[in-house]
Amino acid sequence: MTAITADQVKKLRETTGAGIMDCKKALEEAQGNFETAIEILRKKGHKMAAARQERDAKEGAVFAAVQSGEGHLVLLSCETDFVAKNEEFKAFGQKIANAALHNHISGAEELPSLSIDGVSLKDSLADLTAKIGEKMEVSRWARIEGEYVTAYIHLGGRIGVLVALGGTEGVSSDVLEEVGQNIAMQIAALRPVSVDRQSVPHELLEKEKEIAREQARAEGKPEAILEKIAVGKLEKFFKEVVLLEQEYFKDSQKSVGQYLKSISPKLSVLGFVRIQVGGK
């Protein structure tokens, strides 16, 4: 058997982050070949990741990367809040978001092959799982495009928001950034489901109408007017869930739509994405 030195073990440990005994055993198995030892540890990482698949990864953090009208959000999940606050975990999550932006990915199926420091995301996740000892996965990813895109990260990564603005001609980049951040904070706090009422999912509208009908029926209202009552109650519902109709959080005298028009008549929200740790 090839004699393994302490310096070899130290170098492998510094390179991979694996434990001393794991590094020693990998080097012995590889007969001192450094690259082979790395591959052995990587395969072990995959095994460790597979062994953890039944565990819940309900903690984590959201990371954002934005440039030139394109933005990406990534939710990197783990098992504990302690790991979510780990600097290596946070740096890794940001690298994923940056790589998604750099490669302009357009589908989640492209994530596993993303290159993170020359290693695929799939392998990098396995390596970090082996090193940190918790299940880790990219549980959500989102992309948005627009004339101007901004990102907002809330509560240290618990919530991430992307906002795409349109009608930006004649509005300075500083003003657009301020507006984008204000709208993103609105979305983070008040959780709208759509930009305008036309975009509210039909299933959600029908559910709200049915609730309103049942409430009116329980109050003894005639069946003939239940639908009219339900439609009327939707107006309040729209003000709660439609972004442009919500009360603007910095000025209760304005809706979000009115706030936008006060900046520029043509300024609009093209779309938004909101991702929350442990939520939808």
Q: Where are the domains of the chain?
A: 6-51, 55-145
Q: Which of 167, 185, 162 is closest to 66 using CA atoms?
A: 162
What DSSP character marks residue 254?
A: S
The architecture that CATH gives domain 55-145 is 2-Layer Sandwich (3.30)
pLDDT number for residue 47: 61
Residue type, 112: P
Strand, helix or coil at 224? helix
Coil, strand, or helix at residue 133? coil
What is the predicted pLDDT for the residue at 54? 60
| Helices 87-102 and 121-132, axial angle in degrees (round to 10) | 180
Among candidates 21, 138, 16, 11, which has minimal Cα distance to 73? 138
How far apart are alpha carbons 210 and 230 in whole angstroms? 7
Residue linked to tokens 């972004």: 243
Return the H-helix or E-strand segment holding 235: helix 226-241
Span between the terminal Cα atoms of the chain, in Å: 53
What is d(CA 96, CA 115) in angstroms, rounded to the nearest whole number? 9
Query: Residue-wise pLDDT tens for the chain (280 aa)?
Result: 678 899 998 888 777 767 788 888 889 999 999 889 888 887 776 565 555 556 678 899 999 999 989 999 999 999 999 999 999 999 999 999 999 999 999 999 999 999 999 999 988 888 888 778 788 899 999 999 999 999 999 989 999 999 999 999 999 999 999 999 999 999 999 999 999 999 999 999 999 989 988 988 898 988 889 888 888 889 999 999 999 999 999 999 999 999 999 999 999 999 999 999 987 5
Is domain 6-51 in CATH 3.40.190.10, yes or no? no
